[in-house]
Chain A
Amino acid sequence: MGFLTNLQDAWTFLQANLDQFVTLLTEHLTLVLVSEVLAILVAVPLGIVATRNDRAKAYILGAGNVAQTIPTLAVIALVFPLLGIGFLPALVGLFAYAVLPILTNTITGLEDVSEDTVEAARGMGMTDSEILRKIKLPLSLPVIFAGIRTSVVLNVGTAYLAFFIGGGGLGVWVIGGINLFQMEKVLAGAIPGALLAITMDSLFALVERKLGGEAGVNQQATTG
């Protein structure tokens, strides 16, 4: 049985179960996007706080790094005893995992804004909050955005594991298919996910280039 036959079987399987596919894909996307938005809302302000205070930075980065070191599956497993099963625990797990790339890039981006630029702004009479809003954030936007891009792509992959705590998503087909040796089901779940990750990545890369190009900022995007 060749790989091509597998692909054909997967396509047939997908067409036969299109309704379920749409449901799973929607779940998958919802998990990714909601956890991502939450991660952005938390990571960017945390990053700002971290650049203002060295001690806060040590704690925040420490916590973020710990969250990232735990294997993805373990994050999901850790959430389980705390929040039980279902969509919400899966969301929390994914959120915890999505925060770090955005956080580190926010910190790097803000810290990379040149001292001269900041001093010029201060010398011209900008308050700290004006310096942050008008100078530091806009200048570090391309770097922060690179962090969001990394985080989203990782997140699309991680979301497959939501299946283990009943979070739904394309993992239902992939892991279910593995358990049942149904190769067409595995592929029908895995390939759209891979395509999704690639699409997201290219899309974000496009926006990122536009952000960087428009501002004429030659900062190296640090993709974590």
Chain B
Amino acid sequence: MSTIEFDNATKVYDDGTVAIENLSFEVEEGTTTVLVGPSGCGKTTTMKLVNRLEDPTEGTVYFEGEDIETLDSIELRRSIGYVIQEIGLFDHMSVAENVATVPELKGWDAEDIDDRVDELLELMDLPPAEYRDQYPTELSGGQRQRVGVARALAADPDVLLMDEPFGALDPITRENLQDEFLDIQERIDTTILFVTHSIDEALKMGDKIAIFDVGELVRYDTPANILEDPGSEFVADFIGADRTLKQLQVTQVRDVMHRDVPATYDHLVEAVTNGSATGTDGALVPVEPSDSTQTALSRIIQAGAEAIPVVQDGRVVGIATEEAIREDTSDRRQSHEVA
């Protein structure tokens, strides 16, 4: 079942600006859907239709099968988590009070709220003993954003809306938070609608990507499909010239690795088993099945090797060769060119 459905939604602002026109698509339950496009393309407006910060001028938005305009907007918003770029933390409240906002509004018991706050701070890697009583202005940008995410998750929402949540962070913090969030996302099983202007972030975070041009949806598909076949010049331009590299980013090692290790690579397996492949200079650091082929390839090149062992829970589960990675990428390209 789709959690959110846009049916011919059009939003025209009072000043006549058309933000989105005849938008139709469905967000599947439990997935992360990323809305991406240049500024002013209507992606944020689309997201605000979901928690009714905006209502469509024409068309309908369905939330769990019901016309969203028949739902009480306050109740609706309390069941949807919301993270915005500027975070919007309440500076006069402690970290714990910020996280407790929606549970408080919903009238939870004080004890339940306390437990939930600790649980979430733990989840966001902010030890409660240290951070509960701090104020937002005492935190770094990355920590503030973590509190913002914890606050949005507090009342266990069915849907999480994230409007450029990592946009204001420096590149390193952003990447760390993205990785952590991917982890968290697997554990919370929430439908996520994520807005960004960065195609890299979209490819990294999304199960599905909705690419917007001014006011309209031009492509709605999985990252792999979009990279294989952009389908239009606009999408190809938006992805950029390094499409192949991006393809490496979204392909996981598990998709290209040989599960039966050829005898020629026995020495690599041995190196892992006797512990010499631990990451010191020149040594080949094994990858995990969930790592990207980009990581694998870069480690192969760095160590001057031809292949890299794939390790899961300390055990070698396969081997990824440079050749296999190359073939996988060119296969995908050819299959599209032939088609």
Quick check: is A41 within 8 A (CB to CB) of the other chain? no
Q: How far does the alpha carbon of A139 sit from the alpha carbon of B76 in the complex, in Å?
A: 26
A interface residues with partner B (beta carbon < 8 Å): 114, 116-117, 119-127, 130, 134-135, 138-139, 141, 215-218
Q: How far does the alpha carbon of A141 sit from the alpha carbon of B91 in the complex, in Å?
A: 12
**B77 to A, closest residue via Cβ:** A125
> Among the listed stretches B117-125, B130-138, B245-253, B259-267, which one makes contact with chain A, having 4 or more residues with CB under 8 Å of it?
B130-138
**How would residues 75 to 106 of chain B score, 1 for a CB under 8 Å from any chain A CB and 0 otherwise?**
11110001010111111100000000110010
Q: Is the CB of B137 within 8 A of A218?
A: yes
Q: Is the CB of B74 within 8 A of A125?
A: yes
**B74 to A, closest residue via Cβ:** A125
Q: How many residues of B contact A (CB 8 A)?
A: 26
Known: A216-B138, A218-B137. A123 touches B84 (CB 8 A): yes
Known: A122-B53, A123-B77. A217 touches B102 (CB 8 A): no
Known: A215-B135, A216-B136. A121 touches B78 (CB 8 A): no
Quick check: is B51 within 8 A (CB to CB) of the other chain? yes
Known: A117-B88, A117-B90, A120-B88. A125 touches B137 (CB 8 A): no
Quote the shortest CB–CB distance from B135 to chain A (angstroms).
4
Quote the shortest CB–CB distance from B192 to chain A (angstroms).
15
B interface residues with partner A (beta carbon < 8 Å): 51, 53, 74-78, 82, 84, 86-92, 101-102, 105, 135-138, 151-152, 161
Q: Is the CB of B105 within 8 A of A130?
A: yes
Quote the shortest CB–CB distance from A42 to chain B (angstroms).
25
Q: Is the CB of A138 within 8 A of B82?
A: no
Contact residues in B for A117 (Cβ distance below 8 Å): 88-91
Contact residues in A for B75 (Cβ distance below 8 Å): 125
Q: Which 10 A-B pairs have the closest CB atoms?
A: A120-B88, A125-B77, A125-B78, A216-B137, A116-B86, A215-B92, A123-B82, A216-B135, A138-B92, A116-B88
Contact residues in A for B78 (Cβ distance below 8 Å): 124-125
Contact residues in A for B92 (Cβ distance below 8 Å): 138-139, 141, 215-217
Q: How far does the alpha carbon of A216 sit from the alpha carbon of B87 in the complex, in Å?
A: 16
Beyond the given A124-B151, A216-B137, please list 13 additional residue pairs across the A-B interface where CB-CB is below 8 A. A116-B84, A116-B87, A116-B88, A117-B91, A120-B84, A123-B82, A124-B77, A124-B82, A124-B102, A125-B78, A130-B105, A139-B91, A215-B92
Q: How far does the alpha carbon of A116 sit from the alpha carbon of B164 in the complex, in Å?
A: 13
Q: Is the CB of A217 within 8 A of B91?
A: yes
Q: How far does the alpha carbon of A117 sit from the alpha carbon of B77 in the complex, in Å?
A: 15
Quote the shortest CB–CB distance from B339 to chain A (angstroms).
43
Q: Is the CB of A216 within 8 A of B84?
A: no
Q: How far does the alpha carbon of A203 sit from the alpha carbon of B92 in the complex, in Å?
A: 22
Quote the shortest CB–CB distance from A97 to chain B (angstroms).
31
Known: A125-B74, A125-B102. A119 touches B135 (CB 8 A): no
**A126 to B, closest residue via Cβ:** B105
Quote the shortest CB–CB distance from B150 to chain A (angstroms).
13
A to B CB contacts below 8 Å, 10 in the list = A114-B86, A119-B53, A120-B82, A121-B90, A123-B51, A123-B82, A123-B161, A125-B77, A216-B92, A216-B137
Q: How far does the alpha carbon of A130 sit from the alpha carbon of B106 in the complex, in Å?
A: 12
**A120 to B, closest residue via Cβ:** B88
